[in-house]
Amino acid sequence: MTRHTRAGHARTLSLSGALVATAIALGGCNLTGDNIATGTVPDDYRQRHPIAVTEGEQSIVVFVGRARGNLTETQRDDVMGMARTWRRDGTGAIAIDVPADTSNARSAQAVYQEIRGVLASMGVPAHAIVRRSYRVDDPRALPTIRLSYSKMAAVAGPCGLWPSDLGPSIYNPSYNENKQWDNFGCATQHNLAAMVANPSDLVQPRTETASYTPRRSVAFQKYGKGESTATTYPEADRAKLSDAGK
């Protein structure tokens, strides 16, 4: 083998060794494995934290003493308010949980009968009221009567989840792309779901109501005569400045 041949062979071995060392070094940098899945995380917070319409629960608690067997004024208002909301939002029967074998069992029974009477006076039918008995585990606790019913509710979350770092990290490759972090917008969606009065409004619009016929007739008559159909508000002149002292 000539000297030039030996030199070329040595350079080939040196180049092959450099490529193998580079491949090993690059393979050692892959510390994240399958943790990089940013392509599956939506950029829109409304898609990351969607508001879902589900069936929730509305409930109130009535405290019952040992010697008083009737509702207080405040408790009566609470029961009447629950009857009103049940007629509007309820999707099931009103369940009344009454304590059994307690020191106030007799008072609780009298209060239960009064609650049924209040619900009936507010338009709740008898078949929509279900009584359930329960036992109190803690003897120190004051037994209460609990009223509850199912209703449609809007929910979002849970919030407070931080699956990745916010700062520069090998576990957060999207840091340099200035993208929203995963928990961004969750609190806003959660609060919006809690504030909406009718969860179905998030899914579909309500039906249109009929127009006000008397006002529409007056407007058509003025339009046919060529008059202005705008409403005149005499109270608008009260906001003008006085001319006194001029």
Ordered by start, the domain boundaries in the chain are 38-50+157-195, 55-152
Chain-centre distance for alpha carbon 129: 28
CB 121 within 8 A of CB 71: no
For 148-204, how does the pLDDT look when each residue is reduced to its tens digit (9 = 90+)?
999 999 999 889 888 777 777 776 666 667 778 888 899 999 999 999 988 888 888
* Neighbour count for residue 35 (Cβ, 10 Å): 13
Q: Which residue is associated with the tokens 């120190």?
A: 140
Amino acid identity for residue 144 in this structure: T
Residues in the chain: 246
Query: Which pLDDT value is given to residue 74?
Result: 94
| Sheet containing strand 52-63, strands side by side | 52-63, 144-155, 94-99, 129-134
For 224-241, how does the pLDDT look when each residue is reduced to its tens digit (9 = 90+)?
989 888 877 776 566 666
- pTM value is 0.59
The CATH classification number of 55-152 equals 3.30.1330.60
Amino acid identity for residue 32 in this structure: T
Measured N-to-C along each axis, helices 105-121 and 73-89 cross at an angle, to the nearest 10 degrees, of 50
pLDDT grade for 210, boundaries at 50, 70 and 90: confident
Could you tell me which residue, 96 or 56, shows the higher pLDDT? 96
Could you tell me which residue, 100 or 25, shows the higher pLDDT? 100
Mean pLDDT, rounded, for 121-148: 90
Q: Does the pLDDT at position 9 exceed 70?
A: no
